Structure 1
Amino acid sequence: MIVLGIETSCDETGIAIYDGHNNKLLANALYSQIALHAEYGGVVPELASRDHVAKLIPLVKEALFEANLSLSDIEAVAYTAMPGLVGALMVGAAFAKSLAFMLEIPAVAIHHLEGHLLAPLLSNDNAPEYPYIALLVSGGHTQLIQVDAFAEYTLLGESIDDAAGEAFDKTAKMLGLPYPGGPHLAKLAETGRKGVFHFPRPMCDRPGLDFSFSGLKTAVLNAWEDQQEKSLAVKADVAFAFQEAVIDTIVIKCKRALKETNIKRLVVAGGVSANKHLRESLEALAQKNGFEVFYPPLEYCTDNGAMIAIAGAYRLAHGERDKGNEIHVKPRAPLSQS
């Protein structure tokens, strides 16, 4: 099927067209609301919802033009139904269901995290085979999931408080860095010095695959407030040590998950998967321990319509589709509800 994918779970409006017949992405249009939310230092849900309303139709037109298709060529619509900001989800879901009703084609609800799980499959040159361990690491989620086949997911561990990306953003705000803070902190860390500060590697001294980053964030705050001289150089040293602690923790947990399951493939997805230091650390771990590591193409690490379109194509190929015209979205939902 030719599937139109719609992503509106937070602050990116994503529209993509995926050809399920030939396993090929035909178009991908994305609008980020970073500038809209920057003056508030974070996402304002009401503004996010309104902006999705304004951007959906222009982005659909852009994607159709890129794919050299007309609206009548679309055979199904996939949309993010969970989890996310409920107002933003409602905008995308209502648009998707209305479009499907008008065109008399099926619609299918997609779990946002399943989209991230399948995003590496958008790279036809280096797509992973099943089974694999997936590390979903973003502003809203830090999870380790065993993927045995499509729609066969087992949660191995997750953050019990802040997600890794959330900890990046909050620590960056603490240091006075611009929104969105995570990428700014990672860039600043490149100029920091190793060994000036040392922060804990949370929950690595005990069994299990869960994560916790709130205590690490507090340790950074205490160290920063203790500094008499809050220069850019000191800020960079703090950023370096924080990033090192987060990434070391993630690497330790990934190594543990691969060893416990005896699986030799690791897939890394979500916005934080674009972090350069994380990729270098996981590549080094892979070479040392004899496993493969896969990532989505950089443009598909953050939220996008392409991952929803490919997830929709897979769901539709398995005979799934919405029943009726009711709209159901969930701000929180485990992957087991996909």
Structure 2
Amino acid sequence: MTETRHTPVMLDEVLTALGPRDGEIYLDGTFGAGGYTSAILGAADCKVVALDRDPSAIAGGYDLVGASKGRLTLVEERFSNLSKALDHLGVEALDGLVFDVGVSSMQIDQAERGFSFRFDGPLDMRMGRDGATAADLVASLDDKELAAVLRTLGEERRAGAIARAICAERAESPITTTSRLQRIVERVLGRSNDGINPATRTFQALRLAVNDELGELARALFAAEKRLKPGGRLVVVSFHSLEDRIVKTFLADRSRTLAGGSRHMPEAVVAPATFELLARGVVKPSDAEVSRNVRSRSAKLRAARRTAAPARDGDPFAFGVPRLPLQGLIGEAS
């Protein structure tokens, strides 16, 4: 395989959990720079379907497609639509599936994408090239709606004050750049003594909202449950507590065999478990990896094996996806 453009987080742990084998079919739901895909292809004589909603990520993977000699198929698609992609390719079921949730280093480092306050650029933040931008949300939500987004998705304690400041500023002129938004937040919160930019939580909240990342994750988990073969493995790497909570809640629900009882009532049998946990609790990166790659410090890996039980229907809101005032602006789970 050709070299990828960066080393993916917890690569050894992902490969151990996924266990690639010859002749099997795997799906990388978040292709990015192709790190996991390349490693899977190198670990076994298998095939990989890789998805990414970012057309630039797909374009950057063409060399890897050529080097794979027919074993890799790239598809520009959201990972929540993995069933649609597999249907189009005529792939009925998967032996394994991996998601690396969140924004990629490549996207953060491109000023024109508007993900980071480290670079001045348009206030965009879209992982794909469709739908509302962060500037659209900042321009259209009222102060209470904006505060709800910042408080819920950014866990920003002073969300109300920031939202009011944004609304006051936009009355003067539209807020269209990352630098201007960063300055507004800094005026409200002041400069931090811990080295963390005060706009971090605001930018995170807007990015999660623009891309409907939590709703996408929940829908992707439901789709994975439907398309994995019995014995197929699901591996998810997340970087934020809100994302990890959805994965943890989903796997706890799907691996549970008994409902909670009490001394007065016996435990009741629930629907057959659709997953078996591969490890109790969460797997975190080693100290050595964190020292090499600071981005890995917040990574959390959860993995499970599919049983033969029928897949169930699911409601994203029941698994931790928040209800926010974004109807008509972003994806269906808002």
TM-score for the superposition, normalised by structure 1 = 0.31
Task: From the two aligned structures, give the one with the greater strand fraction.
Answer: 1
Return the structure number with greater relative CO, CA threshold 8 A, min gap 6: 1
